[in-house]
Amino acid sequence: MEPVLERNYVQPRIVTEPPTPTNGSPKRYRWTASEYYQMADMGFFNGKRVELIRGEIIHMAPMKTPHAMAILLMFEALTKVFSKGFFVRQQLPLHFGKSDQPEPDLSVVEGSIRDFADAHPTSASLVVEVSDSTLRFDRLTKAELYAENRIDEYWIVNLKQRCLEVYRRPVKDKNFGFAYTEIFVVREGEAVSPLAKPKKVKVTDILP
Mean pLDDT of 105-121: 95
**Helix, strand or coil for residue 87?**
strand
45 domain-assigned? no
44 domain-assigned? no
Q: Which range among 10-19, 84-93, 135-144 shows the weakest confidence by mean pLDDT?
A: 10-19
DSSP output for 136-201:
HHIIIIIHHHHHHTT-SEEEEEETTTTEEEEEEEEEEETTTEEEEEEEEEEETT-EE--TTS---E
92 touches 67 (CB < 8 A): no
pLDDT tens across 39-81, in order?
888 887 887 878 888 878 888 878 899 999 999 999 999 999 9
Q: Which of 132-136, 176-180, 200-204 has the highest mean pLDDT?
A: 200-204
* Phi, psi of 90, deg, nearest 5: -110, 120
9 domain-assigned? no
By DSSP bridging, strand 126-131 and strand 153-158 are parallel
Structural domain including 72 reads 65-206
12 domain-assigned? no
Q: What is the pTM of this model?
A: 0.82
Per-residue confidence (pLDDT) for residue 6, from 0 to 100: 39
8 domain-assigned? no
193 domain-assigned? yes
Please check the confidence at residue 151 and state whether its pLDDT lies above 70. Answer: yes
182 domain-assigned? yes
Please count the structural domains in the chain.
Answer: 1
Task: Provide the residue type at 171 as one letter.
Answer: V
96 domain-assigned? yes
The CATH number of residue 135's host domain is: 3.90.1570.10
